[in-house]
């Protein structure tokens, strides 16, 4: 995998009228798992993205888990998470009180040593970045469903 760069840029504004699918302040690994289950239920029951396929939902839940666990490990509490529907997918935002510590993807590390979550998120989210808002670091990613085989995106 090539090194992905996490640029300093604010997240896009959520689309007007799109639902907030999840908002929480997980503080433990168990709360991340519970939030993941709540997000799954919300997405499956939402009309924001009609009928996400299992692969799209799995990618969303993986990005959620990676960004939130990074916030808990490397940020400062409280960690706040919001997942919002967009016209074409989902916007995930994770904020914490460590505004002075930007996301730091590993460079030159053997992937078997772990810590590759930011690289994975960058590979799955065509748009991603971080910024500071109201004194909090906000790490974000936009995830879009993969179009069915044989179709093209505009």
- Residue 101's H or E segment, with its range, is none
Neighbours of 97 (CB within 10 A): 15
Dihedral angle sign, alpha carbons of residues 130, 28, 77, 38: positive
pLDDT at 2: 41
pLDDT at 4: 47
Alpha helices in the chain (DSSP H): 29-44, 54-74, 117-124
Q: Which residues contact 4 (CB under 8 A, 6 or more apart)?
A: 105, 118, 119, 122, 123, 128
What is the value of pTM for the model shown?
Answer: 0.86
- Do residues 60 and 121 make contact, with C-beta atoms less than 8 angstroms apart? no
Cα distance between residue 141 and residue 12, in whole Å: 9
pLDDT at 77: 96
Using 50 as the pLDDT threshold, list the residues of the chain that sit under it: 1-4, 48-49, 153-154
48-58 pLDDT tens trace: 445 578 899 99
Cα distance between residue 154 and residue 96, in whole Å: 35
Structural domains of the chain ordered from first start: 20-143 (3.30.565.10)
Cα distance between residue 115 and residue 30, in whole Å: 20
Instruction: Compute the half-sphere exposure of residue 69: CA atoms within 13 Å on the CB side of its CA.
Output: 17
Q: What would the two tokens of residue 84 be? A: 């919002």
């Amino acid at each position: 995998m090539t090194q992905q760069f996490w640029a300093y840029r604010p997240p896009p504004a959520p689309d007007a009228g799109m639902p907030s699918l999840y908002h929480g302040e997980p503080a433990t690994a168990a709360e991340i798992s519970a939030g993941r289950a709540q997000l799954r239920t919300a997405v499956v029951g939402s009309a924001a993205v009609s009928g996400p396929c299992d692969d799209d939902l799995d990618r969303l839940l993986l990005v959620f888990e990676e960004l939130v666990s990074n916030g808990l490990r490397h940020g400062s509490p409280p960690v706040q998470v919001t997942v919002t529907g967009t016209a074409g997918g989902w916007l995930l935002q994770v904020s914490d009180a460590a505004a002075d510590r930007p996301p730091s993807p590993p460079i030159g590390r053997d992937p078997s040593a772990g810590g590759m979550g930011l690289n994975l998120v960058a590979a799955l989210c065509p748009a991603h970045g971080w910024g500071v808002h109201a004194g909090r670091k906000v790490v974000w990613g936009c995830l879009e469903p993969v179009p069915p085989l044989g179709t093209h995106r505009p």
